[in-house]
Chains A and B, each alone.
Chain A
Amino acid sequence: MHPAPSVIIFTTFSGLGFGLLAWLGLGFPDVTGWSAFAFFTIAYVCAVGGLMASAFHLGRPERALKAFTQWRTSWLSREAVTSVAALLVMGVYAIGTIFFDKALPLVGVIGAALSLLTVFTTSMIYAQLKTVPRWHTALTPVMFLALAIAGGALLAGEVTTAAVLLALAGVVVMATWLHGDGAFARSGTTLATATGLGSIGTPRAFEPPHTGTNYLLREFVFVVGRKHGTKLRIIAFTLAIALPVILLLVPFSHWLAAVAVLSHVAGVLVTRWLFFAQAEHVVGLYYGKR
């Protein structure tokens, strides 16, 4: 799959933003006034900025409001609805803590649940696709939620909790990679099932429909950078998980915490790039590519 910067930025930052909102809604850290203002600003910039980035990959962004209508069947529509609901409910909670020095626990819990639900709906957009075997697994939502919750804890300044949750997220990310590497082969989809010609013998793509490229090849058949997959995984794991955990375990300082956050964000961006770049769509089979 083409690793479009818009979707990489969107999933990374909306995950972090909604992860932080979930922690804030549950009262971690229990802040009011200017301090609360700072935390909510970070959360809203991440969440709303991520959502706006996602609009850049639309062909017709001016009609984006129509995406709120089909929540009965579409995970993308559900994401639109839950994200706005989470932002509105958490907005009420934020106003309470910032301006009235009063946390509304029930509103916070509902907002936190909606925030995590938003991350879940995002992940299900990918996990629902049978056409991308690497994504079509329960590990996809687990990975998105694990990174959002751990990243949120890191941003919320929950030092010890964040270290533990980052380590857990690391295990999930590893599992996603190991499981994903054999997913295409396990799916059983081959050029033989794609063409139905397997009963005669082994089919081979002989000539593509045209000598140039097309939308399908640009969007679904991305082969650049795969050979560096292992190196990029090591970089991603080091930045997103290992370095932040080490920085959290040494005696706390705000500077080290800031480095931990930046390192984590950079690492998650790399994992998301790999999430798209290493995912193979079955339509590539028709072109003799993957």
Chain B
Amino acid sequence: MTALPDKTDRKLGLVIDLDTCVGCHACVISCKGWNTENYGAPLSDQDAYGAAPSGTFLNRVHSYEVQPLATSDKVQPPAQLIHFPKSCLHCDDAPCVTVCPTGASYKRVEDGIVLVNESDCIGCGLCAWACPYGAREKDEAEGVMKKCTLCVDRIYNENLEEIDRVPTCVRTCPSGARHFGDLADPDSHVSRLTAERGGMDLMPEMGTRPVNKYLPPRPKDALPEIDVLAPYLAPVDDAPGGFLGWLDKTLEKL
């Protein structure tokens, strides 16, 4: 049923740290790998080795440049490069769910995950039209809509080691930029991170109330000016003896 639940028991989601993401795209690759080999239709590629390759991805990493405003301290502050992973935000008011004509899209009451029942999906694409974040893509081979499942086949999977029962993007991230947990629980580490770091919603004006939060980049450190070569150029011994002493004297005479 495509009516949204009034309230979900938990709000499982991701907190993505824009301060620590290094833009390595490992989450993109691990997501493509896990979700091609496991639950649902594989994420297909078209013309993968040809001139115009294209494919279905549930997670993509953009990169943005932000030019900070000049201040009296920094007349010409350096631009910041921010890597920006983007996947389904599992919105509380998910517009993709209510527009679905077949009931294939739904938001789970128990944990708030937004999923697609692929055997009911007619591939009309209206959910992708309704999503402001580009979280849904039509798989060209399967003809159905694909989206992030929050690795629903990992997080409850008792065949996996406990440490692996998180979305594969979180498990893979080498810089610790991705965090998974229950955002309805104020004591969860993701809720605490959001509170401490001022976690934010993307496009709040769309009224989608995303569950996933983004942690803004922290201000860059302002270190004192250091000449990194200076220590190597300063004399280390005023009166060397032995061979170096002889060399020093000989060179002085020349």
Contact = CB atoms under 8 A, between A and B. Distances in A.
A202 B70 CA distance: 12
16 contacts: A59-B144, A60-B144, A63-B102, A67-B102, A70-B100, A70-B102, A70-B103, A74-B99, A130-B95, A130-B206, A200-B216, A204-B66, A206-B81, A209-B57, A219-B125, A286-B133
A273 interface: no
Contact of B122 (A60, A132, A216, A282): A60
Interface in B38-78: 52-57, 60-69
Interface string A145-181: 0000000000000000000000000000000000000
B216 A196 contact: yes
Interface centre among A60, A283, A286 (most CB of B within 10 A): A60
B104 to A, nearest CB: 8
A230 interface: no
Main secondary structure of the interface of A (DSSP, over half): mixed
Nearest to A64: B122
A41 interface: no
B137 interface: yes
A203 B69 CA distance: 11
A214 interface: yes
- Cβ-closest 10 pairs across A and B: A59-B123, A59-B143, A209-B60, A77-B101, A66-B102, A67-B101, A283-B134, A76-B101, A207-B63, A206-B65
A191 B98 CA distance: 26
B56 A67 contact: no
Given A60-B144, A189-B205, 8 more contacts: A59-B123, A63-B102, A69-B101, A70-B2, A196-B200, A196-B202, A209-B25, A209-B60
Contacts of A194: 132, 202-203
A253 interface: no
A208 B64 CA distance: 9
B132 A74 contact: no
Interface string B7-35: 00000000000100000010010000000
B245 interface: no
B3 A72 contact: yes
A66 to B, nearest CB: 4
Contacts, number: 196
Contacts of A72: 1-3
Interface of B: 1-3, 18, 25, 28, 52-57, 60-69, 80-82, 84, 86, 95, 97-104, 120-126, 128-134, 137-140, 142-145, 200-207, 214, 216-217
Nearest to A79: B101
Contacts of A57: 124-125
Interface in A208-230: 208-210, 212-216, 219-220
A286 B206 contact: no
Given A70-B103, A215-B128, A59 B84 contact: no
Nearest to A62: B122
B138 A201 contact: no
Contacts of B130: 128-129, 131
Given A74-B98, A80-B101, A282 B60 contact: no
B103 A66 contact: yes
Nearest to A75: B99
Determine which residue in B84, B101, B102 has the highest number of CB atoms from chain A within 10 A of its CB, and name it.
Answer: B101
A61 B123 CA distance: 8
B134 A216 contact: yes
A286 B202 CA distance: 11
A142 interface: no
A260 B103 CA distance: 43
A38 interface: no
